[in-house]
Structure 1
Amino acid sequence: MHKILIIDDELSVCQMLEKFLKKKGYHAKSTTSGKQGIKMLKMEFFDLVLCDYRLDDIDGRTLYPELRNANPEMVVIFITGYTNLKVAIELIKEGVYQYLEKPLRPDELLETLESALKLKKRNKSYPNRHETSSVPNQDFIIGKSSSSRELVKTVDLVGPTDYSVVIEGETGTGKESLAQLLHEKSARKDGPFIPIDCGSLSKEIAASELFGHEKGAYTGAYSDKTGAFELAKGGTVFLDEIGNLSMDIQVMLLRALQEKVVRKLGSLKPRKIDVRIIAATNENLRDKVRNGSFREDLYYRINEFNITVPPLRERRGDMSLLINHFITKTAEELGKPVPSLSDEVLEVFNRYSWPGNIRELKNVIRRTCLLSIGSETITSKVLPRHLMEENRGGGETKNFYVGAAKDTHKEVLLAENHTDLRKTAHMAEANHILKVLKEVGNNKTKAAKLLNIDRKTLYQKLKLYQLET
């Protein structure tokens, strides 16, 4: 039975958490004093500490080193009603597992505890730095948000199989990096990983890139070429933006996957292939099947398993980890000390909607680090104009909508005749949330599941769009 120490200066919180955790099978003890918590740790072993960041007798910044000194293998999770992204980043750098906001939600707390304790068991001792899973030379970082944890479970499940996978997600979410992560977890990891950008290929070039060609097969074919399917023998072919392939190439691809052979352009000789297919798209392939622009038989052939990568706006819990990763990596590339972010910059980052997702975050950080060479702190002066403009406008859609606060079944309307595309998209999202809530009788858990987001994200959106009842 795992032992958990609760430290919170509110006695009612301690009693509530202690009672709750005991019901869930944990051995829990509590104290309202940080100094008393240190004494208890020196006298008794605990697997995990759940600690309020702002205690009456000591704050988390001072308390954390004492906690680690008392038991270096122990997992530490801070809870607070005063979220500060800068503090979260610094604590994660130092090894804190997670930083949870009050009021605590039981399902989120249990998920975090289970994930932390599994990690501790797997590593035997808790790492000094926040653990991440990333593909070498790639930017897909597995964080600790609920959506990220679900993604980890999915990758661990399907990665070792030979299933064909379709990865869906917005531009910039890291679909290729995730595909490479799937490859690294498979039995084909020692084989080639060959990415093909289907969106940039014409019909003739696509056939040549995928299947190869013989010399003289078409004008400009001055020598033989081996295609990706042969080059990737024993490995993985990644077809990015597969929805852009022409119908003729789709037919050739389907035949190759069914027969497990390819024929080079200009040749009738079949060549056996042994590859795993991972495809990616930022479009809805089901819609393309319905409108006749993508073959239904090919869709079911490649879609043995489907993964949706959440956008960055649904991974807010991973922001501190991502920011720290990209700043550290960029500083290493520039050969400069790692700078810190000013409070204003952190606030802008936290409020911005990040339509370009992780790719946009990475590019913004690389730019700001370059412009801040010689300075220890990155300030808002070096931020791109559009980030500051959105932040000055509220950074969110709040105050752009009316008529939703008391009736969750009422459609959200624009308060003004806005033509801003992002605000219009937000309005559509708000209306979709209302529709789903109505379908499930305002059950937030069911609604979050249907919307493919975690409950915390749903509550944030309800607050953002003023839809709370």
Structure 2
Amino acid sequence: MKKILIVDDEINICTLLSRFLGKHGFKTESTMTGAGALKLLKEAPFDLVLCDYRLKDTDGSQLLNDIRTLNPQTVVIIITGYSDVRIAVDMVKNGAYDYISKPLYPDEILALVNKALESPGAAMPQPVHAAPAAPVREQDAQRLQPSGGTGTGEQYVYGESDPSRQLIRELTLVAPTDYSVIIFGETGTGKESVAHLIHDHSSRKNQPFIPIDCGALSRELAASELFGHEKGSFTGAIGTKIGAFEQAHGGTIFLDEIANLPYDVQVALLRVIQEKQIRRVGSMKEIAVDVRLIVASNENLFEAVQKGKFREDLFHRFNEFTIHIPPLRDRGDDLRSFVDAFLAQAGRELNKPEATLSEEVWECFRNYDWPGNIRELKNVIRRASLLTPAGKEISMAALPLEMKAGKMTRPITSSGIEPVPGDGADEPNFPMLDDNDLKSVALKAEYNKIINVLKEVKYNKTKAAQLLNIDRKTLYNKLRLLNINY
């Protein structure tokens, strides 16, 4: 008979769990304190511990460490009464088998307990850098394989670095739930791909996935794009429009660059999230909507709240779970996987044999900071594959100008940007341009200005366009013209 120890500071929960599990063939004991739990664990071994995160004399984190020290074979399941599952993620990273949230449902508890006790090696937690079959969930990476849902149509590339493994573990935890998710990461790290992945592995996978670029929404049209409008509700409204929330009903809505959403639209959005109803512009009718919210930002939303740019109450509505996508420069072990995948994709697109990289190009790739992250890498490889004849290696001649210059700077934290040592404020080196040519001088000046503004706004293109006093489309055209892959 398996022995289970229940640790909770509410006597009713201890009593109910003891009776319920006892009826299903388990021998149970209970205590309301961490000290009492350690005393019982020292007296006799237990197969599993159900432990509340908040106790009067300690917390789940400390008790988990103590249990692992006393008996590493004991399976620990954390009970938390908090909707913020970051606590659960931390506990699982530190060796807990899984977590369960209050209110507690008997069938859910019984299924989880049986699964934990049946899983071989469940109580032998591995460090974060271990193989994907770590005890968080079974076979994390395999469970996150593309499911044929509403994804982008491209194979998601799973890395082998420690940050990538941690990302997979977090996605495995949150994808099956209905939690709102904030995805934070620099420009080009693949935030929309991660949002697709979450949607494709949720219960909503067969329903719509609607992405919205909040940075492209003007103050005048934002409400119409999100909530729709009725015919004649404003000048130019020549017909009824279904908004993004209605389109996403039953599925997921992905709000990219959420920090750029106009403040008054944030107020309307908060009401929709609270009431789960929308009202089209020009209409008095309330329409019920059921959507899961995933938002993304390349700037810290908490800092935006501190500066008064983003509503605090809206931030807390979104912040049920936060995922940080590491920049490519911190995922050096993944570079080979990404390059191989993008070379294969480029070969299919161009209908020619997959290209290979010369050693010189590989060395350049390894030493480059990739300020535009995965998006930049993909664009560089597509461009190089196009320029390289079939059967030839990709050489340095096929790389963009800024990579050859080798004097890029990079953002290093969410709070500031620091130059690469020795770079200073010097102009990038353009070896292929003539310094006496007026067009070349103008080109270098324009390149330099755009790069500096992008760094200043942490690579937020909407803000960069505003500072440069041009629209986003013009900025994108200049980025393409100058081969700036951000």
After TM superposition, the score normalised by the length of structure 2 is 0.56
Pairing partner for 1:332 from 326, 348, 370: 348
Q: In the alignment, is the contact (CA less than 8 A) between 2:129 and 2:165 conserved in 1?
A: no
Pair 1:179 & 2:185 matched: no
Conserved? CA contact 1:159–1:185, under 8 Å: yes
Q: Mind listing any 5+ residue stretches in structure 2 that lack a counterpart?
A: 1-71, 74-125, 411-417, 429-450, 453-486
Q: What amino acid maps onto 2:184 in structure 1?
A: E
CA–CA separation in structure 2 for the residues paired with 1:112 and 1:376: 37
Cα displacement (A) at 1:384: 1.3
Distance 1:305 1:414 in 2: 33
How many positions carry a matched residue from both structures?
297
1:197 counterpart = 2:203: no
1:418 aligns with 2:424: yes
Q: Distance in 2 between matches of 1:293 and 1:275?
A: 25
Name 1:73's counterpart in structure 2. Answer: none
Q: Out of 299, 318, 329, which is 2:315 matched to?
A: 299
Q: How does 1:255-334 map to 2 (within 5 A)?
A: 255-334=271-350
- For 2:196 and 2:314, the matched residues in 1 are separated by 22
Runs of 5+ unmatched residues, structure 1:
1-23, 26-108, 398-411, 425-469
| Match among 384, 396, 407 for residue 400 of structure 2 | 384
In the other structure, the counterpart of 2:377 is: 361
User: Could you say if the C-alpha distance between residues 414 and 348 of structure 1 is closer, same or farther in structure 2, counting changes exceeding 3 Å?
Assistant: closer
Q: How big is the shift at 1:248?
A: 1.0
1:191-245 Cα offsets, whole Å, 9 max, x none, are: 0000000001112211011100000111100000111111111100000001111
Q: 1:351 aligns with which of 360, 364, 367?
A: 367
Runs of 4+ aligned structure 1 residues displaced above 4 Å come to 109-113, 131-136, 412-417, 420-424
Rounded to whole Å, the distance in 2 between the matches of 1:171 and 1:282 is 6
* Residues 32-431 of structure 1 mapped to structure 2, 5 A cutoff: 114-115=131-132, 135-138=151-154, 140-390=156-406, 418-420=424-426
Alpha carbons 2:353, 2:390 under 8 Å: kept: no
Q: Over the residues paired in the alignment, what is the CA RMSD in angstroms? A: 3.4
- What secondary structure is seen at the aligned counterpart in 2 of 1:388? helix
Distance change >3 Å, CA 383–CA 146, structure 1 → 2? same
Closer, same or farther: CA 299–176 of 1 in aligned 2, 3 Å:
same
The change in CA–CA distance for 1:416 and 1:366 in structure 2 (over 3 A counts) is: closer
TM-score by length of 1: 0.58
Q: What is the DSSP-based 3-state SS (H/G/I as helix, E as strand, rest coil) of the residue aligned with 1:115?
A: coil
Q: Indicate the residue corresponding to 1:429 in structure 2.
A: none
Contact 2:328 2:373 in 1 (8 A): yes
Quick check: 1:138–1:177 contact (8 Å CA) kept in 2?
no
State the identity as a percent: 49
Instruction: Say if 1:173 and 1:357, in contact at 8 Å, map to a contact too.
Output: yes
Deviation at 1:413, TM superposition (A): 11
Inter-CA distance 236–421: structure 2 relative to 1 (3 Å threshold): farther
Would the aligned equivalents of 1:139 and 1:174 in 2 still touch at CA under 8 Å? no
